[in-house]
Amino acid sequence: MFKQAEMNQIKKAISESIKKNEIAGANLLVIQSGEELLYEEAGFADKEEKRPIRRDSIFRLYSMSKPVTAAAVMILMERGEIDLFEPVSKYLPGFKNQMVEEGDNLVPVQREMTIKDLLSMTSGLVYGGNSKAGKDTEALFQEIDQRLFSASPMGTVEAMNKLGQCTLAFQPGAAWEYGTSADVLGALVEVISGMRFGEFLSTEIFQPLGMEDTGFWVPEEKRDRLVKTYEEDGQGGLKCYSGNHLGIIQRMDQDPAFESGGAGLVSTVDDYSKFAGMLLQGGSFNGVRILKSRTVNYFTSGSLTEEQQKNFTSWHTLCGYSYGNLMRVAKDCSKGGDLASLGEYGWDGWLGAYFCNCPKDDLVFLFMIQKTNAGTTNLTRKLRNIVFSTCCN
């Protein structure tokens, strides 16, 4: 249990970040052994309207959508509907005959990209950059953005078949690079299940767990709970961010044709805690089983090969971690820059939504903010250090 001194430390860290205009507002939730240890809300969901952050505030998850997408793939795997070593092209023909960038040349893939390559981000797919692979990918997402509000918006499967025709940055399996792999997995789930990706998630995960505020858009009756996104204004303050990013409609006011498995979901701190709790409890939550325990063990213990790990280790804030099934996994707590728990896993998002599960300590840590290019902030690490030093052995 947190003592008053530790509670004060947490409140101080968040309030100082708000005062410095580093964030507008935040939700923090810590659960251990199924019991809520801490909930803290502070600041504004909308600074201009003075609308405060509340427990039911809805946040854009961006890349914290990825573990949910990976869980959907695990459901299909344990049912025998897919084999992780199957080629992606079996389900998405746009991935046939892919080409790889090698220096100034394009060469054919040495082997086809597999579903497992997507889960480990060793597919050769990227998010952008100056390479041909990056430029091809950026051009596709520009097309998705341009068609968002047209009479023919690009759907999930169409978009990913087009992505398959983009140049790869490296041979499948040869290295690790953060990219669009999770979006492809969403399209695969759609093709294999015969349902829209969002329908599959709702049927198989959200409805059974009671995640009533999680999905790919926010209906009108809930929109006053959606947290506004902010960005730095260049003068030490914050300003509203209104752009669409990675094919995601910023306003979240319509059911999108492109349901991004890598970035598209919204949720609340309580909703996501049910998903995190399900994983921590071996695949079931409140008597509802989503995954079998052996599947969860596989899902949450991912690791890269020595060669793949080289690129991942260059992400210096994740020293001591490896990666698999769209999540970081702590392998060596002595190498990190903050306190960690061996075997902990989770991920974060572009706007700062963050979660980790610590099986060794039976602990869920969830932190929600909405600021562009936030990822794992120094505030997140400060809060982790307070919590982990208090609750983790």
Contact status, residue 338 vs residue 385, Cβ threshold 8 Å:
yes
Tell me: do 295 and 367 sit in the same domain.
Answer: yes
Nearest to 160 by CA among 85, 255, 259, 64: 259
Determine the average pLDDT of the residues in 152-167: 98
| CB atoms near residue 366 (< 10 Å) | 24
Name the domain boundary from 195, 216, 244: 195
Number of helices and strands in the chain (H, E): 12, 16
- What mean pLDDT, rounded, does the chain reach? 97
CA 7 centroid distance within chain:
28
Tell me: do 235 and 332 sit in the same domain.
Answer: yes
Residue 26: pLDDT over 80 = yes
Burial class from Cβ neighbours inside 10 Å (0-12, 13-18, 19+) for residue 137 reads buried
Tell me: do 188 and 241 sit in the same domain.
Answer: no
Cβ neighbors of 200 (< 8 A, separation 6 or more) are 72, 189, 190, 193
Tell me: do 241 and 363 sit in the same domain.
Answer: yes
* Domain span including residue 156: 73-195
pLDDT of residue 224: 97
Helix axes 66-78, 269-280, angle to 10 degrees: 40
Model confidence at 346, pLDDT cuts 50, 70, 90, reads very high
pLDDT digit string, tens, across residues 220-274: 999 999 999 999 999 999 999 999 999 999 999 999 999 999 999 999 999 999 9
pLDDT of residue 208: 98
- Measured distance CA(90)–CA(95) in Å, rounded: 8
Contact status, residue 145 vs residue 247, Cβ threshold 8 Å:
yes
Q: Which two tokens stand for residue 251?
A: 């306003």
Tell me: do 206 and 268 sit in the same domain.
Answer: yes
Tell me: do 81 and 60 sit in the same domain.
Answer: no
DSSP 187: H
Name the domain boundary from 147, 174, 195: 195
- The angle at the Cα of 380, spanning 32 to 382, to the nearest 5 degrees, equals 90
Tell me: do 40 and 98 sit in the same domain.
Answer: no
Residue 393: pLDDT over 90 = no
CA 172 centroid distance within chain:
22
Tell me: do 236 and 351 sit in the same domain.
Answer: yes
- Measured distance CA(353)–CA(39) in Å, rounded: 15
Tell me the residue length of the chain: 393
Contact status, residue 291 vs residue 75, Cβ threshold 8 Å:
yes
Contact status, residue 184 vs residue 125, Cβ threshold 8 Å:
yes
Nearest to 110 by CA among 98, 120, 121: 98
pLDDT of residue 4: 92
pLDDT of residue 2: 81
pLDDT of residue 55: 98
- Measured distance CA(202)–CA(89) in Å, rounded: 26
- The angle at the Cα of 21, spanning 17 to 26, to the nearest 5 degrees, equals 55
> What separation, in Å, do the N-terminal and C-terminal C-alpha atoms of the chain show?
13
Name the domain boundary from 172, 195, 218: 195
Nearest to 261 by CA among 200, 339, 323: 200
- The angle at the Cα of 48, spanning 45 to 51, to the nearest 5 degrees, equals 35
Q: Across the chain, where does the E strand assignment appear?
A: 25-32, 35-46, 51-52, 59-60, 99-102, 105-108, 230-232, 238-240, 266-267, 284-285, 288-289, 321-324, 327-330, 345-348, 354-358, 363-368
Radius of gyration of the chain (CA): 20
Number of structural domains (the chain) is 2
Tell me: do 370 and 382 sit in the same domain.
Answer: yes
Contact status, residue 190 vs residue 203, Cβ threshold 8 Å:
no
Handedness of CA 263, 266, 267, 269 (dihedral sign): positive
Residue 3: pLDDT over 80 = yes
Residue 392: pLDDT over 80 = no
- Measured distance CA(255)–CA(280) in Å, rounded: 31
Contact status, residue 59 vs residue 370, Cβ threshold 8 Å:
yes
Contact status, residue 253 vs residue 217, Cβ threshold 8 Å:
yes
Residue 104: pLDDT over 80 = yes
Residue 189: pLDDT over 80 = yes
Q: Would you call 314 helix, strand, or coil by DSSP?
A: coil
Tell me: do 46 and 88 sit in the same domain.
Answer: no
Distances (CA, A) of 87 to 6, 172, 324, 341: 50, 11, 18, 35
pLDDT of residue 223: 97
Q: Which two tokens stand for residue 201?
A: 């998630």
Tell me: do 211 and 271 sit in the same domain.
Answer: yes
pLDDT digit string, tens, across residues 77-101: 999 999 999 999 999 999 999 999 9
Tell me: do 78 and 61 sit in the same domain.
Answer: no
Find the CATH number of the domain harbouring 185: 3.40.710.10
pLDDT digit string, tens, across residues 295-332: 999 999 999 999 999 999 888 899 999 999 999 999 99
